[in-house]
């Protein structure tokens, strides 16, 4: 196990789901964590949950689709609390996408938040880290990025893009002294997954996911996957010949 770097942490998408659970886990470990999301009231409620823990949570409302706001957020964190040590880029959402309609507004919203919101946050976090040649970044993608899955075309497209982004940048950032990790969760019980109308295999509770996430951050692994059993299944699907894989995913097409 490797130690987490000294300094303040930053989590985007920190008001609910995995982001909230990880923020609280880091606070239990004595970390100081800036948590960002668009809903300031929700962030303050999460920060209040950390009262009495060894660390503390600092609400920092932010819309990650605004690149200038992301840069200002990192500057504010460093000015008030010191060097940014760990950035967990977790903000994202899901919208089901049907081939029958292919709603362009939904696709654009997914790209702006899941993909460009992560890139905006990444660029902001890397700016001071490159100067110090030190820091750690975790990009949260998804196991849905391994293979195209029916109704997840837009979501999976953005998450596959994040997987490619992390794989492409890791060698360069490592040479600069910055640790980059890719996080691929499966199904975790969150407000988003609560809306899913289908069975979710190996569904994890947020606290269990946060523990797996925390241990992964403190490891030397590039890719952090949880739950592992679903990772094995979708990893196999990723490697199957297209003829076989597409025959399998065809069974997932919703029936009218």
Q: Write the pLDDT tens digit of every residue in 198-240.
A: 667 778 899 999 999 999 999 999 999 999 999 999 999 999 9
Please report whether residue 2 resides in a domain: no
Helices (H), the chain: 17-28, 40-49, 67-81, 104-110, 117-132, 153-175, 206-217, 228-239, 242-249
- Which pLDDT score, from 0 to 100, does residue 202 have? 76
> DSSP state, 204?
B
Please report whether residue 45 resides in a domain: yes
Print the domain residue range for 92: 8-252
Interacting residues of 67 by C-beta distance below 8 A, sequence separation 6+: 120, 123, 124
Q: Residue 162 is part of a domain; what is its CATH number?
A: 3.40.50.720
- Tell me the average pLDDT across 34-63: 98
Confidence of residue 29 (pLDDT cuts 50, 70, 90): very high
Please report whether residue 18 resides in a domain: yes
Among 76, 96, 92, CA closest to 84: 76
Please report whether residue 1 resides in a domain: no
> Which CA distances in Å does 192 have to 51, 94, 177?
26, 7, 35
Please report whether residue 189 resides in a domain: yes
Split into its structural domains, the chain has a count of 1
Please report whether residue 3 resides in a domain: no
Given a contact cutoff of 8 angstroms between Cβ atoms, the answer to whether 120 and 66 are in contact is: yes
Please report whether residue 56 resides in a domain: yes
Catalytic residue (choose from 155, 187, 213, 214): 155
Query: Where on the phi/psi map is residue 100: left (φ > 0), alpha (ψ -120 to 50), or beta?
Result: alpha
Average pLDDT, rounded, for the chain? 94
pTM of the model: 0.93
- pLDDT > 60? residue 1: no
Active site includes 146? no
Please report whether residue 177 resides in a domain: yes
Given a contact cutoff of 8 angstroms between Cβ atoms, the answer to whether 38 and 254 are in contact is: no
């Amino acid at each position: 196990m490797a130690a987490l770097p000294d300094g303040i942490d930053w989590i985007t998408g920190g008001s609910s789901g995995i982001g909230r659970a990880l923020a609280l886990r880091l606070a239990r470990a004595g970390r100081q964590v800036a948590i960002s999301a668009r809903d300031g009231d929700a962030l303050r409620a999460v920060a209040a949950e950390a009262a009495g823990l060894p660390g503390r949570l600092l609400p920092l409302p932010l819309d990650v689709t605004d690149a200038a706001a992301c840069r200002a957020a990192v500057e504010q964190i460093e000015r008030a609390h010191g060097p940014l040590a760990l950035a967990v880029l977790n903000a994202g959402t899901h919208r089901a996408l049907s081939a029958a309609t292919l709603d362009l507004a939904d696709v654009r919203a997914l790209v702006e938040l899941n993909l460009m919101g992560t890139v905006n946050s990444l660029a902001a976090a890397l700016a001071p880290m490159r100067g110090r040649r030190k820091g750690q970044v975790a990009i949260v993608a998804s196991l849905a990025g391994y293979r195209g899955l029916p109704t997840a075309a837009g979501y999976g497209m953005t998450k596959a893009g994040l997987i490619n982004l992390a794989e492409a940048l890791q060698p360069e950032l490592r040479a600069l002294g910055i640790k980059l990790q890719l996080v691929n969760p499966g199904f975790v019980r969150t407000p988003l997954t609560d809306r899913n109308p289908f069975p979710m295999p190996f569904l994890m509770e947020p606290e269990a996911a946060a523990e797996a996430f925390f241990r992964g951050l403190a490891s030397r692994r590039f890719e952090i996957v949880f739950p592992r059993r679903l990772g094995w299944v979708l990893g196999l699907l990723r490697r199957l010949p297209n003829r076989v894989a597409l025959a399998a995913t065809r069974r997932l097409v919703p029936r009218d």
